Structure 1
């Protein structure tokens, strides 16, 4: 006997397919960006000039270097960002917001995998400056710090913004933007990334979040919930802890 596939199953399948498609599409996109950077003289001059200027601003100032390393490794570091997302996922599971928890975990994981895949496909060397103040292992493009900050801050915003009073909602967006931009600046100033590495990380992070958010919005539409905007968050109902509809509620 044929059984109709419920929205929960369609949501899971769509999320998996969208994540896989984003990962595949990100690699040629990343490669194209690097080819443009290496062949287009104006962008090459921008990369070189920004790296040298920011690097000179910290060269000979150990205190500044320590501050930048604290910001890039502790405050905005990938481990900190991932722990924050993990804490939100646990909280969502406790609130029984199962699909939102799956979305948050999947988005963070997809971001890490896409970044790692792009690095190993592009294999771009990190900057070689005359007097380096910091070192980092692995390849340069895209910036893992920039990409992790982008995906993590987006997840935190889209999940938690409904809990913030409307009058205060611009503040989390400003803090998120400052974190994403700030971590990019620290990576260039420390001489471990080019500007285009950071921009590539931002773009890939936004692409991953956009793709998975569309999948979540499609599920909301299928179960009869209204579409949302980024200003509202992915699931405004989290404020009232409204129970998630089960697959059986939409089947007749």
Structure 2
């Protein structure tokens, strides 16, 4: 009789030891890391493009040199003949300066942290730090001089590979676009994507037209940006699967109007699988929004 009851309790819990876990913790299913591995593709593609550009720049590949010098000289002559156009470019260059973009990204990270989306805040801050480190390392290790003209329109910034302003603006626009993407519909996504692409292209164009960077410097910055954005997301996705996605849902809930937040259902547990059921070995931890009663 005692053995039958013990057998029934073990069968009810689905574990050999009844309610207690006697073996090692069950590994998380690979399906939770599938989404994280998608971040590897843009990172690998960006790293490959940057490596190719770096090899060509260090080898002084003649077609790339002609491409850089031709476009830089053409845009510089146009800027000299059109003072109003040049003034507009200088204004855009000031708005897209690296310190402006990094300050904006830092404010976004602080806002995310205050809302409780700690993993998203860490991702944004890490992406900014990686972009800054790539810019500093490129200038120190490669040391490629930028364009130089007799009537220079932009101050000489020294080493120019990759373009710091283009890199900072691309990373900042990428973070803002990633935060806005799940919170808007198709028209909103199209508008946000177009605005981000226009801002990135405008900052890169000003750096070339004002004679501050070569076109390949801007292309290298655009190649490094996906690495800075995707690498932290990949690490978090492999280390703590589902945390970034949960922060996205938390951000969407807490930025709604109060009436919508009160009527919204509670967030699912952290350790839930793709079908809404609990994942074995991950304790369910729920977090209710402060606005809910």
TM-score, length-scaled by structure 1: 0.77
Matches within 5 A, 1:152-231: 152-219=172-239, 221=241
RCO (CA 8 Å, sep 6+): is it higher in 1 or 2?
Answer: 1
Verify the 8 A CA contact 1:96 1:243 in the aligned structure 2. Answer: no
Picking from 56, 74, 82, the partner of 1:61 is 82
**Residue pair 2:105, 2:124 contacting (<8 A) in 1 also:** yes
**How far does the alpha carbon of each residue in 1:32-66 deviate from its partner, in whole angstroms, 9 at most, with x for none?**
52441353221111111110111111113332222
In structure 2, what is the equivalent of residue 85 of structure 1?
A: 105
Corresponding residue number in structure 2 for 1:46 = 67
User: How far does residue 245 in structure 1 lie from its aligned partner after superposition?
Assistant: 3.7
Flag the structure with larger Rg.
Answer: 2
Higher helix share: 1
- The alignment partner of 2:251 has SS state of helix
Alpha-carbon displacement from aligned partner over 1:100-131 (angstroms, at most 9, x marks no partner): 11111111111111111111100011111232
Q: Distance in 1 between matches of 2:70 and 2:173?
A: 29
1:1-56 deviation line (CA, Å, top 9, x unaligned): xx98xx9xxxxxxxxxxxxxx9xx97x98575244135322111111111011111
Instruction: Report the 3-state secondary structure (helix = DSSP H, G, I; strand = E; otherwise coil) of the residue aligned with 1:221.
Output: coil
Contact 1:162 1:238 in 2 (8 A): no
Contact 2:163 2:213 in 1 (8 A): yes
Identify if the C-alpha distance between structure 1 residues 60 and 94 changes in structure 2 by more than 3 Å, giving closer, same or farther: same
Aligned residues: 227
Residue aligning to 1:119: 139
Further displaced range: 47-56 or 154-163: 154-163
Aligned to 2:15: none
**Cα RMSD (Å) of the superposition?**
3.5
Q: CA deviation at 1:136?
A: 3.2
C-alpha distance in 1 between matches for 2:185 and 2:104: 21
Q: Is the 8 A contact 1:97 1:244 kept in 2?
A: no
Q: Is the 8 A contact 2:49 2:220 kept in 1?
A: no
Distance across 2 between alignment mates of 1:201 and 1:224: 26
Q: Please state whether the residue corresponding to 1:235 is helix, strand or coil.
A: helix
The one of 124, 132, 142 equivalent to 1:104 is 124
Change beyond 3 A, Cα 1:169–1:222: closer
DSSP 3-state at the match of 2:131 = helix
**For 1:182-237, what per-residue CA distance to the aligned partner results, in whole angstroms no more than 9, with x for missing partners?**
111100000010000000111011111121222233356366969xxxxxxx8344
Report the Cα distance in structure 2 between the residues aligned to 1:224 and 1:56, rounded to whole angstroms: 47
What's 2:252 paired with?
239
Residue among 91, 95, 99 paired with 2:115: 95
Structure 1 residues 189, 96: CA separation in 2 closer, same or farther (over 3 Å shift)?
same
CA distance in 1, matches of 2:77, 2:282: 61
